Amino acid sequence: MKVYLDGKFVDSADAKVSVFDHGLLYGDGVFEGIRLYSGNIFRLEEHLERLRAPRDELHRQVRDPRERGRRWRELVAGWNFHGVNDLIEKHNRWYPVEARLAMNPRTGDFVLVGGKPYRREPLDAAWALRRFPPDDSDRLAA
């Protein structure tokens, strides 16, 4: 897996941090967690904004759009989606029961929720790049 350290991507096995690093000495750090309540991601928009923040920081640091795009795709390729996909799998398994959705006895399918299937698809790097493209196209659509 690749990590971004001191302005460049390095293999996680090669990443070294000084024993004088502020984060190491004082416990500074950043992590992202997701809560799921009744089959819904809690504060989804705020979560998406936090996912967008690294890309925006990269935009500030790297002016060349090709290099910025290359770095963004490399960073996203190293993201781990196992935790969120575990939540999605639990949602897909338990939401119909928790929400007491009606089932079509002929097909075994649960009713649509707001006109859409209740099932969520797993996330991956391709999803992240569609949702947060290397350029500013998602900002233009907003």
pLDDT at residue 45 in the model: 81
pLDDT at residue 32 in the model: 62
pLDDT grade for 79, boundaries at 50, 70 and 90: confident
Residue with tokens 């990269």: 58
- Using the predicted structure, report yes or no on whether residue 49 has a pLDDT greater than 60: yes
Residue with tokens 């990443």: 15
Average pLDDT over residues 113-140: 79
Average pLDDT over residues 18-37: 66
pLDDT at residue 136 in the model: 58
Run of H or E residues at 67: helix 65-77
Most trustworthy range by pLDDT among 64-68, 78-82, 126-130: 126-130
DSSP state of 24: H
